[in-house]
Structure 1
Amino acid sequence: MTAPEGLLLQWRDHLATNLRRSPHTVRAYMAAAKRLVNASGAQDWNALAALGARDLRGHLASRRSEGLSNASAACELSALKALLAFARTQTGSPDAPPPRLRGPRLKKGLPRPVTPDDAENLADGVAAMAREGWIGARDRAVLYLLYGAGLRIAEALSLTGADVPLGEVLVVTGKGRKQRQVPILPQVREAVAEYIAASPWPLDKAEPLFRGAKGGPLNPGMVQKAMARARKALGLPDTATPHALRHSFATHLLGEGADLRSLQELLGHASLGSTQIYTKVDANTLLETYRSAHPREAKD
């Protein structure tokens, strides 16, 4: 094993074990770290800890010349800053000032919600198009948790047998291991119960609730693929993703009069600023409805 390989393995173990980052985040951070290590020629933590803003700026400029977008550049910079912070802890200088480098300015786009009818049609569509009945019931239950309870897909797939049968309130562990209480509608409870009844796998309190075809933990990619097939069949845009169902949950609640603080708690947002984007979404939806329905606008 070469010295750079040892650095990368240590970084991966820190991300996965100490920080408990998701597999997706670990892969992304590892890829960014490998590119920087290879480009800089660093052989140990001291060499990495010595890298400064000029080094990162030059590295990112090279990446941008390869066609890296603003959003991807911002993500890569965040990953590299985390790597260099870890390098400083490994060299005994955790309090050393980090490289002062700002990421590219990002234009924040609005989430694209689906209508309540489309959300229900998508859930029914994935069930109807699945190759086995229990798989269809599984995917339908997952989508109901996203739209009916506002869960992130990772939160839904982290549920175990200990979480069922679902009651009127579910305790969800979200980002940063922060827990929140989420009301569960009867339709959501029914969808999950139907999946449990149809599943060929035993319900174990210590095992994932949602299983893959071979009995292992369900990969979120399988749900995304099932929804992609359903939205194509329904003629819905590519923006109709599993995460869009969570956006729809928030937008529709706001449209029915929910206040931002309550919505923040339901979504598990760390800051109110993350929730405030839905006020823009709701206004945007109302404007589109007005333009399509108003006689004068329709005439124009």
Structure 2
Amino acid sequence: MTNVLVPLTPASGREVGNALGVVADDWHAAEVWLQAIANRPRRNSPLTVAAYRQHLAKLRWYCENVSMNLPSKWTVQDVDAFYRFLKELPEHALCERDYAGRYAELGEAGYTPFRCVPSASSRSDIQKCVHALFRAWREVGYIQANPMGFHGAGTERKINANRAVSLDLFDLVLETMEEQPKDTFEARQRHVRDRFLLIALRELGLRSSELVKASMGAFRRLSDPKSGRTYWIMHVTVETAKGGLERKIPVTRQVFEALVAYREAFGLSALPQPSDSTALLLSPRTQRSATTARGIPLKSVSTRRDFGKWRAITSRHGLYYVVKQRLGAAAAFLESIGDHDRKAQLEQASPHWLRHTFAKAALMQGEDMRSVAAWLGHRDIGTTMIYTEQEALDLIRQTEQVRPDVLAFEAQWSPPR
């Protein structure tokens, strides 16, 4: 799907007798809808549009390669078929990767917008996007009825607080990384970058999107006039935060030490500056079309390295692949020593599990609920409370006051023989 609307004339487009005017096809009609969303006076519109664009790319690939039917012609049965496709994604629908693990890009052989089988929550997000598209099309008269009217907009995402990596298991992941060979320049760069990435997810409670969209300049100094100390914080901006909820979070010593080592490995100064627009997550590979400030092409890889012309990881998929590789290496070690339970836990884990790990650890260590909510970027403190099982604890304490000793607790419980 193109990112820019192509000016059309009645001769090149088609009159549909609706508020959209002249559009070339369904995908142009979808682009009109996306641009309308982008023009809304909402702070989260850029992220919303980016997410919707990814979802619609999946819809388009399905229509052009599987159903061979435009969405404006869909019936309820077509919707059912699309749902089944997402749930049982066939092997040929997955994007191909080369020997180095790089996914094929748009326009290359083997490209598809699917890098993995969508999870239940991802399927729900896709369904909500398509439902919103159909609803908007119906409102402007582009289609006569919404074929997803019977299906609804999909279920809401729910936090599963149990999807977290225990602290000792996280330490094992870092220890496994230390044991892996780092005998090349690129391997050493990947090591320090991945170590920083994992620690930042665990220690700062960031979402994947907030990490991949950040720049080095997100790390900046903040002086406390009361103590006289100057601290490092990370600025999660309106443009990078989910829901546009800007926040500035303290940076732990472990995160900052990992950041300094990572920057130095890529030839950057040890300390970041607020004006540094370099992408936060860099690749050891360099930009092929890199030039100097005077526009002189940098042809050799070594020269591009000298000028710091690194490629960047700019998608959640790229971050997901890096994290899963590191978790997978630790899982393989656990399998080798027969620790199958913890191996299974690591195989299920994802970058978002590390956000849950941060939340649970912070609350268990006595951090204030509202502080953790602000750190995570939760608008509703009730979302943060999910990590504490506070509702059940309140019921337990109330019951103990009214009816002491009526509840079963572990110290007094002996199973019957």
TM-score bin, normalised by smaller chain: 0.7 to 0.9
2: CA distance, partners of 1:207 / 1:152: 19
Q: 1:178 aligns with which of 238, 241, 245?
A: 245
- Please state how far the C-alpha of 1:84 moved relative to its aligned partner: 2.6
If the length of structure 2 is used for normalisation, what is the TM-score? 0.54
CA contact (8 A) 2:219 2:235 kept: no
- Please state how far the C-alpha of 1:73 moved relative to its aligned partner: 5.2
Q: 2:46 aligns with which of 8, 13, 20?
A: 20
Q: Unmatched 5+ residue regions in structure 1?
A: 93-97, 284-292
Q: 1:157 aligns with which of 208, 212, 232?
A: 212
The correspondence of residues 1-300 of structure 1 with structure 2, limited to 5 A, is: 3-10=25-32, 19-21=45-47, 25-32=52-59, 41=70, 55=75, 57-66=76-85, 68=87, 71=121, 74-87=124-137, 99=149, 102-103=152-153, 108=158, 109-126=160-177, 128-129=179-180, 132-164=187-219, 167-173=231-237, 174-200=241-267, 205-214=276-285, 215-218=310-313, 219-235=318-334, 236=343, 237=345, 238-280=347-389
> Residues 295 and 198 from structure 1, CA distance in 2 versus in 1: closer, same or farther, beyond 3 angstroms?
farther
Q: Unmatched 5+ residue regions in structure 2?
A: 1-11, 13-23, 89-119, 143-147, 222-230, 286-309, 335-342, 393-409
> Residues 104 and 83 from structure 1, CA distance in 2 versus in 1: closer, same or farther, beyond 3 angstroms?
closer
> Residues 241 and 181 from structure 1, CA distance in 2 versus in 1: closer, same or farther, beyond 3 angstroms?
same
Give the counterpart letter for 1:171 in structure 2: H
Higher relative contact order (CA 8 A, sep 6+): 1
CA contact (8 A) 1:159 1:208 kept: yes
CA contact (8 A) 1:134 1:200 kept: no
- Please state how far the C-alpha of 1:259 moved relative to its aligned partner: 3.5
CA contact (8 A) 1:170 1:183 kept: yes
- Please state how far the C-alpha of 1:137 moved relative to its aligned partner: 0.5
Deviations 1:26-51 (A, max 9, x none): 32233236657967746xxxx68xx9
CA contact (8 A) 1:127 1:135 kept: no
2:405 alignment partner in structure 1: none
> Residues 126 and 243 from structure 1, CA distance in 2 versus in 1: closer, same or farther, beyond 3 angstroms?
farther
- Please state how far the C-alpha of 1:199 moved relative to its aligned partner: 1.3
Larger radius of gyration: 2
1: CA distance, partners of 2:122 / 2:216: 37
> Residues 299 and 106 from structure 1, CA distance in 2 versus in 1: closer, same or farther, beyond 3 angstroms?
farther
If the length of structure 1 is used for normalisation, what is the TM-score? 0.72
CA RMSD of aligned residues (A): 4.3
> Residues 17 and 194 from structure 1, CA distance in 2 versus in 1: closer, same or farther, beyond 3 angstroms?
farther
Q: How many correspondences in the alignment?
A: 279
| Percent pairwise identity | 21
2: CA distance, partners of 1:41 / 1:126: 48
Give the counterpart letter for 2:232 in structure 1: E
